[in-house]
Structure 1
Amino acid sequence: MPPRRAGGERTATLCRPAVAVPEHVITLDQTLELARTLHADHPQLPLALRLIENTGVRTRHLVQPVEETLRHPGFTARNAVYAREARQRVPGVVRQALAHAALRPADIDLIVYVSCTGFMMPSLTAWLINTMGFRSDTRQTPIAQLGCAAGGAAINRAHDFCLAYPGANVLVVACEFCSLCYQPTDLAIGSLLSNGLFGDAVAAAVVRGTGGHGVRLERNGSHLVPGTEDWISYGVRDTGFHFQLDKRVPTTMGMLAPALRVLAEQHAWDVSGLDFYIVHAGGPRILDDLCEHLALPPEVFRFSRATLTERGNIASAVVFDALDRLFAEGGLPESAQGLIAGFGPGITAEISLGRWSVRSAGLRGIVPQAAVALL
């Protein structure tokens, strides 16, 4: 059981995330040209090209060169790449996230690891504990099947843990190599769209039970839209994970926006009057529809939109990348109110409400080196 540290309070602060993207870049123009070349005879090629162009994605990062990404050596080889790249790329962001939180590995009581683009058992959490100095009694919570909603879910489960064990600290890691799910023989429109939408990234963040600077979490909630299990899904086949997207998915914000409003009202907040919004940007229509349904100006989603434009849909890592951009802009005044939300298969929303905290009282431990090697 994690220690209930002296002076622990029933609160939790989401500190600044660390985010890194791989070195291989593909642009929108390259993506469109590849689609024209590889699928020249596809009867719905014009539709696929239009959908890809309308994503708003201009650049994406890949763990392998484009030439390697386009080859499919089989699921066994693909998953081996996932495991190798995760071990290579995750430690850097973990070290930086710990530095942002002014903690050491030994100060962490739980690791929540989220990923929907590869499989390892035991989870990468076991490898992290064995190689990075985490305590042997550090708890592990791998989350593999919430897709893009998992970033929000990880924050919420970290919050829950800190409420259950006051003073505990939780490390959240999101590792998404979406390019390893590329399926060259899958010609469904949803699959072709995903080829131009998803990117690769690794992120980590610490939720501190005491002290810290960032978003002081106050309430969280989940919402599942009944009867939508097959709207976003994986077909698990011999060749690996096949992304399946129902044409009704673009309408989901009409179903999820009310859940955001209800949770805010339960907290005596007006969801249309908050100071910051960090949401999963699966595509531009999600952001546009949230503006309409919540009566918000487009500017409030500038961080999520920048993530989508520069890095594509990086699945569970989106909310951490968008939040890091808020930190990079300088943050907000003390107690500014905001919302964090991840959306994904189910159709599911994972929602957090919190206030911006500029105070860092209660810091303990030695701050690790901030200059760490990333990807």
Structure 2
Amino acid sequence: MNVPEHVLTMEETLEFAEQAHAGKPQLALALRLIQNTGVLTRRVVQPLEKTLRHPGFEERNRVYEVESKKLCPRVIEQALANAELHARDIDAVIYVSCTGFLMPSPTAWLINTMGFRPDTRQIPIAQLGCAAGGAAINRAHDFCTAYPGSNVLIVSCEFCSLCYQPGDDSVGSLLSDGLFGDAVAAAVVRGSGGTGMALERNASHLIPHTEDWISYAVRATGFHFRLDRRVPGTMEPLAPVLRDLATRHGWDIGNLDFYIIHAGGPRILDDLSKFLDVDQHAFRHSRATLAEYGNIASAVVLDALRRLFEEGMPAPGASGVIAGFGPGITAEMALGSWTCGTARNGTRVGQAASTPALQRDLARATTGGTTWTA
């Protein structure tokens, strides 16, 4: 995982919140919530003084375009290298982001500038927020299942700092100001070959009538993040959904070998530990991402998987789950087993060639990502 160069500490966050919202009755509560997020540092695409100014929606979107075009190519190149593939080997590009808007999608620019084939499918995902990382993995799995042997590139580009709104001072807005960070990540899902997580089953779930719990108010000044006070409690209804998915696959959700979970905040992980009867240590990779980078939206699951690789890969056949949560309230979930093979000859040890797998990206660029290769 790679991130922008500008570092923002929790201490700096608390200081600017106290200065900008001094005297507000909700400030004391917001400061306590920020201190309890577990976010020690974050990275942002601009220095703090620029981040805190609002030059207008047009200028912010221009910064999004400039920074995304600067930071995505290097991460993608590393992802392809780790997957032992070239741009011409990619059959679809999934681009996920909820922090800027470009049309045509950045997928068109990537295809035109990085050597992808003109017939490469473009799959932009713009409105699933933090759940989009899991959704991208699942749609890549679906694509490789429909078109055996295909390869899919996933790119996550999230510059949450460009959504900062100085005039918003609700508790939810102040909390988000201390929670979200910026990052770019890339992943490759191969239809055959590779070492990583072999995707076996995926599912989506929407909690009915919760579409206004996490949302954007789109105004002249851009995207205004809105967070309902009920959001932290959503793991109680979602935990049984995860359990049912694993049961239908013949697995026990509380007895898997690894867990790659979107860390929207510490309570999500605390509640999942309780409701799934899983030891807190199982979520160490997600917690490490949250502490070091904050909530980096769709890129969280990619970075958590990178940490799993770097810690030491699971044994072949180890079972695991990936889960992302976001607006809707939406859950995107995937189950799979660890597989060890080689990408060069297009085969995989111990897995059917039609089962897509994930590999990580060890990129160490200026803003990078995680690569899954199937």
TM-score interval (norm. to shorter) = over 0.9
In the TM superposition, 1:1-375 aligns within 5 A as 19-360=1-342, 363=345, 373-375=365-367
Shift of 1:257: 0.7
What letter matches 2:146 in structure 1?
Answer: A
Task: Determine if contact 1:95/1:372 at 8 Å carries over to the other structure.
Answer: no
Shift of 1:131: 0.3
TM-score, normalised to structure 2, is 0.93
Task: Determine if contact 1:63/1:85 at 8 Å carries over to the other structure.
Answer: yes
SS for the counterpart of 2:156 is: strand
Instruction: Give RMSD over aligned pairs.
Output: 1.1
What letter matches 1:233 in structure 2?
Answer: S
Shift of 1:330: 1.4
Q: In 1, distance between residues paired with 2:324 and 2:4? A: 23
Shift of 1:361: 5.4
Task: Determine if contact 2:128/2:327 at 8 Å carries over to the other structure.
Answer: yes
Shift of 1:362: 5.3
What letter matches 2:304 in structure 1?
Answer: A
What letter matches 1:62 in structure 2?
Answer: V
Q: Deviations over 1:147-168 (max 9, x none)?
A: 0000000000000000000000
Q: Deviations over 1:253-294 (max 9, x none)?
A: 001111101110110111001000000000000000000000
Q: Deviations over 1:196-248 (max 9, x none)?
A: 00000000000000101110000000000001000000000000000000000
Q: In 1, distance between residues paired with 2:39 and 2:363? A: 30
SS for the counterpart of 1:56 is: coil
Task: Determine if contact 2:138/2:333 at 8 Å carries over to the other structure.
Answer: yes
Task: Determine if contact 1:92/1:372 at 8 Å carries over to the other structure.
Answer: no
Identify if the C-alpha distance between structure 1 residues 243 and 371 changes in structure 2 by more than 3 Å, giving closer, same or farther.
closer
SS for the counterpart of 2:215 is: strand
SS for the counterpart of 1:50 is: helix
Structure 1 unaligned regions, length at least 5: 1-18, 365-369
Q: In 1, distance between residues paired with 2:365 and 2:167? A: 37
TM-score, normalised to structure 1, is 0.92
- Percent identity over the alignment is 68
What letter matches 2:237 in structure 1?
Answer: M
SS for the counterpart of 2:88 is: helix
* Residues paired across the two proteins, number: 352
Task: Determine if contact 2:42/2:182 at 8 Å carries over to the other structure.
Answer: yes
Shift of 1:374: 3.5
Shift of 1:363: 3.6
Q: Deviations over 1:290-317 (max 9, x none)?
A: 0000001100000000000000000000
Shift of 1:99: 1.0
Identify if the C-alpha distance between structure 1 residues 139 and 57 changes in structure 2 by more than 3 Å, giving closer, same or farther.
same
Shift of 1:372: 7.6
Task: Determine if contact 1:342/1:351 at 8 Å carries over to the other structure.
Answer: yes
Q: In 1, distance between residues paired with 2:154 and 2:343? A: 22
SS for the counterpart of 1:20 is: coil
Match of 2:354 in 1: none
SS for the counterpart of 2:250 is: coil
Task: Determine if contact 2:83/2:343 at 8 Å carries over to the other structure.
Answer: no
**Segments ≥4 residues shifted beyond 6 Å:** none
Task: Determine if contact 2:84/2:343 at 8 Å carries over to the other structure.
Answer: no
Q: In 2, distance between residues paired with 1:116 and 1:199? A: 13
